[in-house]
Amino acid sequence: MKTSLFTGWQARFHAVCLLMLFSALAVGALSGTAHAQAQVSPAPSETVAVEPLPSPEAAPAPAAEAEAAPAFDRGDVAWMLTSTLLVLLMVVPGLALFYGGLVRSKNVLSVLSQILVVFSLVLMLWVAYGYSAVFSEGNQFFGSFTQFAFLKGFTPESVGNTPIKGLPDYLFVAFQSTFAGITTALIVGAFAERIKFKAVLLFSALWFTLSYIPMAHIVWGGGYLGAMGAIDFAGGTVVHINAGVAGLVAAYFVGKRIGYGQTALKPHNVPLTYIGAMLLWVGWFGFNAGSAAAADTVASLAFINTILATAAAVLGWTLVEAVSKGKPSALGAASGAVAGLVGITPACGTVGPLGAIVIGLVTGVVCVWGVTGLKRLLKVDDTADVFGVHGVGGIVGALLTGVFSAQSLGGTNADLDIGHQVWVQFVSVGFTIVWCAVVTVAILLVVRMVFGLRVTEEAERTGLDVTSHGESAYEV
């Protein structure tokens, strides 16, 4: 840890004291990181002759306690700043381009706008009350909405007032804000191409407050599932299952797009989606390895697991498509990468590399069924397959986390009872599904009553770019 202890007049004062009293003082560090204390050597038991000090005025008494510089490691801070930037890259442009390419050309700008504005709205709400409600003391489901409202009590110099003691307070708040933002923005893909813009914003504000905040507190803020021992390193339940279930419920409420199941509603730009998926892969290292909150061995484990699981999922998805359809698609490979990223998210800090490969491979294979067979069974128009990839992938990853986190299978937990941990993971998955589904239904009923959910048939046929935003992505 590199800190500057000798700056300003205080440093000079202590230097003079040490020079004049070096024969009588010893410097020792007390416990903790906030203070260092200079202690006078104990007086000897025998009588010894000593020379008198030059002058009482010339040797001012040393301070009993000197406050040390803030306790943080510059390497950890640099990594967490980078991780926060990487998660931002996941959303804008990563997620926006991924979803934007999946919709038709007449709706691409509406999706880009929804993701950017929803993300920005959630960042504001996070600072206003979100951080406080997640990471302050409260009950098993919510923290206090007022204790740290608008970051009350934090300053640019404050350190150690967050759950991660070794980071500046503002940095931890900023990192966690990107998680809240991307989780809410993920839902946009489920009801894209037919929802009112103002309905999206009201839904997002309410859903962030009533679904994301409690789930984050329940898992990461000392709530019910965290106390139970559920493992969710970077957001399998809090982010992906939460958003996936919300997307599924919202897609049912908004209804199917005009022509769905009758005409082909193809992605208008697969290269755009491919670029978005690759930006997601790059940004996901901040999401997963950044959740270690330090530049250490845990971050390194999460890093390599994020590489391997994603690659395995790409291969798994591609193989299934090659066997079932005869030809593997670029869109499938890109979707496989996202599925692998989703699957490894809850496990990346606790499983070994071989476990990560298995999780990625299984998630890639299962998610192919999630966006095809399961989607047909559910009879839902989930435009960007938010549930098929994030919901299903999150469930698979959360359950397999309970298996491969055991040290006997290459994980980091030497005392893990696999059967018990899988049960805990199952309970956490079930709790997330039920909580999110109930809350999302209630929110959609409110939004439908206030604004309505769906644009008119004429607006949908024309395209939301023109009817909602007054512009076109492509000039014909």
Tell me, what's the pLDDT at 14?
42
Tell me, what's the pLDDT at 72?
87
Output 361 or 70, whichever has higher pLDDT: 361
Nearest CA to 67 out of 157, 152, 148, 170 is that of 157
pLDDT, tens digit, for every residue of 174-189? 999 999 999 999 999 9
Q: What is the mean pLDDT of residues 19-39?
A: 34
pLDDT, tens digit, for every residue of 374-404? 999 999 999 999 999 999 999 999 999 999 9
pLDDT, tens digit, for every residue of 264-292? 999 999 999 999 999 999 999 999 999 99
* pTM of the shown model: 0.85
**What is the DSSP secondary structure assignment for residue 256, as one 8-state letter?**
P
Tell me, what's the pLDDT at 68?
54
Nearest CA to 330 out of 283, 374, 275 is that of 275
Tell me, what's the pLDDT at 8?
46
Say yes or no to pLDDT of 23 above 90.
no
127: alpha, beta or left? (left if phi > 0; alpha if psi -120 to 50): alpha
Q: What is the mean pLDDT of residues 7-20?
A: 41
Strands 25-28 and 35-40: antiparallel
Locate 429 and state its tokens: 């998955």
Residues paired with residue 450 on neighbouring β-strands, in sequence order: none
**What percent of the chain shows pLDDT beyond 90?**
84
Say yes or no to pLDDT of 96 above 80.
yes
Q: Measured between alpha carbons, how far apart are the two ends of the chain, in Å?
A: 59
pLDDT, tens digit, for every residue of 291-302? 999 999 999 999
Output 16 or 87, whichever has higher pLDDT: 87
Mean per-residue pLDDT of the chain: 88
Q: What is the mean pLDDT of residues 61-86?
A: 77
**What percent of the chain shows pLDDT beyond 70?**
85
Alpha-carbon span 317 to 439, nearest angstrom = 32
Say yes or no to pLDDT of 70 above 80.
no
Tell me, what's the pLDDT at 251?
98
Output 21 or 324, whichever has higher pLDDT: 324
Q: What is the mean pLDDT of residues 365-378?
A: 97
Confidence of residue 69 (pLDDT cuts 50, 70, 90): low
pLDDT, tens digit, for every residue of 195-252? 999 999 999 999 999 999 999 999 999 999 999 999 999 999 999 999 999 999 999 9
Tell me, what's the pLDDT at 44?
39
Nearest CA to 167 out of 85, 86, 77 is that of 77
Alpha-carbon span 284 to 268, nearest angstrom = 25
pLDDT, tens digit, for every residue of 44-62? 343 434 444 444 444 444 4
Tell me, what's the pLDDT at 71?
79
How deeply is 94 buried, as exposed, middle or buried, from its count of CB atoms within 10 A (0-12, 13-18, 19+)? buried
Q: Name the least confident of 19-23, 256-260, 313-317.
A: 19-23
Alpha-carbon span 277 to 150, nearest angstrom = 34
